[in-house]
Structure 1
Amino acid sequence: MLFRQLTHDDLGCASYLVGDEDAGVAAVVDPPLDVGEVLRLARYVGVRIAHVLETHTHADHVSGHGRLVAATGATIHVHRLAEAAYDHEPIEDGWELELGSLTIRALHTPGHRPEHTAFALVDRARSAEPWAVLTGDSLFVGDVARPDLAVEREAGARAIFRSLHDRLLALPDTTEVWPGHLGGSLCGGPGMDLKVASTIGFERTNQPLLAIADEAEFVAQATAALPPQPPNFEAIVELNRGPLLTGAPASAPLTPRQVLEAAEGGALVVDVRTDLQFDEAHVPGAVSITALRAGFGSKLAWLARADEPLVLVGRDDEDAAHAALLAAAVGVRTVTGHLAGGMTSWREEGLAVERIARITVPELRERWEPAGQGVQLVDVREADEWAAGHVPGSLHAPYHGLRERPEGLDPDRPAAAICASGQRAAVGASLLRRLGVRDVLHVVEGGVPRWAREGGPVQRA
């Protein structure tokens, strides 16, 4: 039997290539937009991709099912409630697909979305019982799916409760759990683990939400602290519903002058290098979102407007091409080009650059004054993080809401952006500079948690 997991680390997504090597046939479950590695792996093991299975119509990333169909001629299978607008074979609960000695069995598990379907895997050469289940966006390692991306949150949570207890937890404890997402995805909660797999028995024993037997209590807990909904999730759903997308995203090379003209014309310039490189020198008005760490696509989706052209700046053209593909994976399709030759070409032209000062937490404490006369502090974390503890006197402005200067922020006084680690603060600092704050500081090598650990005062909401 063939079983391979492929992860998209930027978005925390997992795809699967399953089948029978002896029979030479396979299926792909929840394919990524970049199907190159899937096709390479299929060629390597000598199987033909004949089927594409979708657990549901995804809301956080664009599927590669169209590109796989174009490359292989495979048939797409998705639950009939998805109401897909592309050619497909609609499936129902209990539907089965045989690939040599492997049987794939559909388990309708609504909640995250009405059409959501998990797939139990049965290796008939070994047993008639499922040895694994591809849980998609229902059960994760350490958490369950969020219920508010398709239906009213309480209705979604009730459906998830029933899907978990009636379908998935009814499987043998030894059944392996292979989820559609790993830690960092927007489709789950804070308990999601970076571990790639688990078992039904382990999750049943160790997940607090799964220990709740009362449906009303489960609903209350599952909906108590949901993060903000991604701004473009409905647009991604429509892209995934059809018609099929078969082309590869492209980004045109632009000269420094063309980038300058695009920025002056209203384009958003996104610098995808490391935050250190950005802080040292960047195109004036650019926003820092590094593509070299996880979460680039999610951050970009928060900031990019549907009608706003984007220009990418990387270390080189390869950086920009990679970032363009990550952008397309979250439905951002307004990338018009990239700075050819990277930031080096901008510097070689002698064009103006901006810089952002970096400051560590100990250095910040030296300049911070509780009376508010020192450095202004802008906390760019989420609301639940802010409520759990923040620096007294700081302003709260999540980075994805920084479209105008926070109320009470003096643009003529130094302002420092802080988060939990320094990564979101990099985005926040660049946005504050773009919004006209003259002296912006980027808090690095930690954030509010380090401030608290080292004895700094903390206020809780």
Structure 2
Amino acid sequence: MIFETIQTEGISQLSYLIGDDSSGTAAVIDPQPNVESYVQLSRKHGVAITHIFETHIHADFMSGSRELQSRVGNANIFASSEGDASYGFDVQKISDGDSFEFGSTKITARHTPGHTPEHLSYELADSDSPDEPWGVLSGDSLFVGSAGRPDLLGEEETEELTKQLFSTLRDYYLNLADDVIVYPCHGAGSACGASIGERPMTTIGQERKNNAFLQHDDFDEFAKFVSEGAPPVPQHYPILKKINAKGPELIGHAPVVPGLPPKRFQDAIQSGQAQLVDTRQMLAFGGGHIEGAINLGDRPELSVWAGDMLDYDRPILLVVEDETQLDWVAWHFAVVGLHRFEGYLVGGMKAWDNAGLPLSTTPQLTVHDLKEHKSEFQILDVRAPSEFKSNRISGAKHHYVAEMRDGVNGELDLKRDQPVAVYCGSGYRASIAASVLQRNGFQHVHNVPGSMSAWKNAGYSIEK
């Protein structure tokens, strides 16, 4: 038996390759669109990818099923027929109880609704004991220390999905043996569940004992617990849900990003058609950037924040730190369905500087300077609401960075002509927010590197 876990950082996504070397066949479950990792793994193990399984219609990343099918040429896509699911591309529909064999391993679909109506999980068992599963690919129904959120399809469906989730957890998962291994579709950092644990896998016994979602016998108590713990819904989730149901556009390779010399790049900016994204790290961005750019540093979480902050109807102009990493950067946009690029700045900011083109800056304010001159700043906390509620710098106002994607108006209660100090957990989100504030006419915006982490480590007091 062949079993491989493929982790996509940033979106905290886990996909799986299961194969049988005797028959030379393999299946991939929940692939993301940069499919070369699956192709290379199949070649390493000497198997052909013949089956592609989806657990559900994903909302947080662009499905790679069609991309992988196109790449390997002889695989079928299998997707749920449950919950009246419909698709705009060719799939082989499967339902609860359908099974497939890969050598000595039997994969059986189980309808586990709640996160979505059509959701399937896949039991893994030895072929000679199919009723005694040793593992389950749980998709977004059960996570380490958490469960799939039922509120992504809108308020009108949340109550029914919450009931289905309650039933799935109690009537399916809690009836599995304690030693069954759970392989989820997401790990810590994903907004598909509240406070997902760090481990990439778990067991039913571990979750039975420690998972708060499995501790409720009363539905009303469960529903209250679920609703209170849900993080904000990212803006790209409904968009990607529609893209994945229709069938994502085939890319076929790393997204194409044309190179534009500085003057042509400036012309493209001034046309107003594209959105300008600077993917350098916050200190480089702060030292000098092109006016109007949003700062999304090229860390793995770039994918999440690109999906949450950018306009899916406009192409992207890119500024990168290292042009040899351009494909890597572009894939981080594509994994959340953003693959229309107007171009990138050839030669980077050095070429822009040498061309004598204008620069803007974002001053960086250390926590020590903020502490000493605190009364001189309007302090803005841009972390998630739950983080702000837990602790904050005294006197800070709050506005979640993702809610600033369409601009900022009077709801911030900040004066545009007075200094603003922006902080988050580490400075990454604060730099995003600072760039948005500057783009919206705030004149004296300061980013706080290290932000709350640095503030605490410096020994400064926090408000709870």
> Could you tell me whether the CA contact under 8 Å between 1:157 and 1:223 is conserved in 2?
no
Is 1:286 the equivalent of 2:290? Answer: no
CA offset digits 1:279-334 (Å, max 9, x no partner)? 12212221111122x32122112221233332111013333332222212112244
After superposition, the Cα gap between the structure-2 partners of 1:140 and 1:453, relative to the gap in structure 1 and judged at 3 Å, is farther
CA offset digits 1:2-28 (Å, max 9, x no partner)? 110001101001110002122211000
In structure 2, what is the Cα distance between the partners aligned to 1:50 and 1:315? 39
Instruction: Please name the residue that 2:257 is paired with.
Output: 251
Instruction: Please name the residue that 1:121 is paired with.
Output: 124
> Could you tell me whether the CA contact under 8 Å between 1:272 and 1:320 is conserved in 2?
no
Instruction: Please name the residue that 1:238 is paired with.
Output: 242
> Could you tell me whether the CA contact under 8 Å between 1:157 and 1:219 is conserved in 2?
yes
Is 1:328 the equivalent of 2:334? Answer: yes
SS of equivalent residue, structure 1 residue 444: coil
In structure 2, what is the Cα distance between the partners aligned to 1:123 and 1:254? 56
SS of equivalent residue, structure 1 residue 426: helix
Instruction: Please name the residue that 1:432 is paired with.
Output: 437
> Could you tell me whether the CA contact under 8 Å between 2:62 and 2:248 is conserved in 1?
no
Task: Note the 1:35-74 alignment, pairs <5 A.
Answer: 35-72=35-72, 73-74=74-75
- Post-superposition offset of 1:258: 2.1
Instruction: Please name the residue that 1:31 is paired with.
Output: 31
Mean Cα deviation higher: 327-336 or 447-456: 447-456
- Post-superposition offset of 1:185: 0.8
- Post-superposition offset of 1:179: 0.3
AA aligned to 2:318 is L
SS of equivalent residue, structure 2 residue 446: strand
Structure 1 residue aligned with 2:191, among 172, 183, 186?
A: 186
Mean Cα deviation higher: 149-158 or 108-117: 149-158
Structure 2 residue aligned with 1:147, among 147, 150, 157?
A: 150
Mean Cα deviation higher: 344-353 or 104-113: 344-353
In structure 1, what is the Cα distance between the partners aligned to 2:233 and 2:108? 31
Instruction: Please name the residue that 2:383 is paired with.
Output: 381
Is 1:201 the equivalent of 2:202? Answer: no
CA offset digits 1:208-246 (Å, max 9, x no partner)? 221112222111101113222221222211221234532
In structure 1, what is the Cα distance between the partners aligned to 2:130 and 2:108? 14
Structure 1 residue aligned with 2:277, among 259, 270, 273?
A: 270
In structure 2, what is the Cα distance between the partners aligned to 1:34 and 1:353? 35
In structure 2, what is the Cα distance between the partners aligned to 1:344 and 1:125? 64
In structure 2, what is the Cα distance between the partners aligned to 1:165 and 1:453? 46
AA aligned to 2:305 is K
After superposition, the Cα gap between the structure-2 partners of 1:171 and 1:345, relative to the gap in structure 1 and judged at 3 Å, is same
Mean Cα deviation higher: 76-85 or 389-398: 389-398
AA aligned to 2:336 is V
Mean Cα deviation higher: 396-405 or 442-451: 442-451
Instruction: Please name the residue that 1:339 is paired with.
Output: 345
Instruction: Please name the residue that 2:102 is paired with.
Output: 99
Structure 1 residue ranges without an equivalent (≥5): none
In structure 1, what is the Cα distance between the partners aligned to 2:453 and 2:224? 29
- Post-superposition offset of 1:194: 2.2
> Could you tell me whether the CA contact under 8 Å between 2:63 and 2:248 is conserved in 1?
no
AA aligned to 1:250 is V
After superposition, the Cα gap between the structure-2 partners of 1:108 and 1:2, relative to the gap in structure 1 and judged at 3 Å, is same
Number of equivalenced pairs:
453
Structure 1 residue aligned with 2:112, among 99, 109, 112?
A: 109
Structure 2 residue aligned with 1:85, among 88, 99, 105?
A: 88
TM-score, normalised to structure 2's length? 0.93
Mean Cα deviation higher: 406-415 or 43-52: 406-415
Instruction: Please name the residue that 2:9 is paired with.
Output: 9
In structure 2, what is the Cα distance between the partners aligned to 1:3 and 1:69? 20
Task: Note the 1:409-428 alignment, pairs <5 A.
Answer: 409-428=414-433
SS of equivalent residue, structure 1 residue 186: coil
CA offset digits 1:23-48 (Å, max 9, x no partner)? 21100000011001110010010000
In structure 1, what is the Cα distance between the partners aligned to 2:169 and 2:339? 36
CA offset digits 1:122-161 (Å, max 9, x no partner)? 1336886211110000000111111111252222221111
- Post-superposition offset of 1:451: 4.8
Is 1:298 the equivalent of 2:304? Answer: yes
In structure 2, what is the Cα distance between the partners aligned to 1:420 and 1:230? 18
Is 1:162 the equivalent of 2:164? Answer: no
In structure 2, what is the Cα distance between the partners aligned to 1:282 and 1:79? 47
> Could you tell me whether the CA contact under 8 Å between 1:42 and 1:49 is conserved in 2?
yes
- Post-superposition offset of 1:352: 2.0
In structure 1, what is the Cα distance between the partners aligned to 2:34 and 2:263? 31
> Could you tell me whether the CA contact under 8 Å between 2:2 and 2:21 is conserved in 1?
yes
SS of equivalent residue, structure 2 residue 175: coil
Instruction: Please name the residue that 1:212 is paired with.
Output: 216
In structure 1, what is the Cα distance between the partners aligned to 2:322 and 2:238? 33
Instruction: Please name the residue that 1:132 is paired with.
Output: 135
Instruction: Please name the residue that 1:366 is paired with.
Output: 372
CA offset digits 1:327-355 (Å, max 9, x no partner)? 12112244222112332322232322222
Mean Cα deviation higher: 147-156 or 434-443: 147-156
TM-score, normalised to structure 1's length? 0.93
In structure 2, what is the Cα distance between the partners aligned to 1:205 and 1:296? 35
Mean Cα deviation higher: 23-32 or 340-349: 340-349
SS of equivalent residue, structure 1 residue 188: coil
SS of equivalent residue, structure 1 residue 357: coil
In structure 2, what is the Cα distance between the partners aligned to 1:379 and 1:437? 16
In structure 2, what is the Cα distance between the partners aligned to 1:213 and 1:453? 44
In structure 2, what is the Cα distance between the partners aligned to 1:315 and 1:153? 43
- Post-superposition offset of 1:405: 4.6
CA offset digits 1:358-400 (Å, max 9, x no partner)? 122222110112xxxx111111112222233333432222112
> Could you tell me whether the CA contact under 8 Å between 1:112 and 1:150 is conserved in 2?
no
> Could you tell me whether the CA contact under 8 Å between 1:313 and 1:320 is conserved in 2?
no
> Could you tell me whether the CA contact under 8 Å between 1:316 and 1:341 is conserved in 2?
no
In structure 1, what is the Cα distance between the partners aligned to 2:453 and 2:109? 45
In structure 2, what is the Cα distance between the partners aligned to 1:288 and 1:194? 27
SS of equivalent residue, structure 2 residue 259: strand
> Could you tell me whether the CA contact under 8 Å between 2:234 and 2:402 is conserved in 1?
no
SS of equivalent residue, structure 1 residue 359: coil
After superposition, the Cα gap between the structure-2 partners of 1:74 and 1:87, relative to the gap in structure 1 and judged at 3 Å, is same
AA aligned to 1:194 is E
- Post-superposition offset of 1:443: 0.8
In structure 2, what is the Cα distance between the partners aligned to 1:395 and 1:448? 18
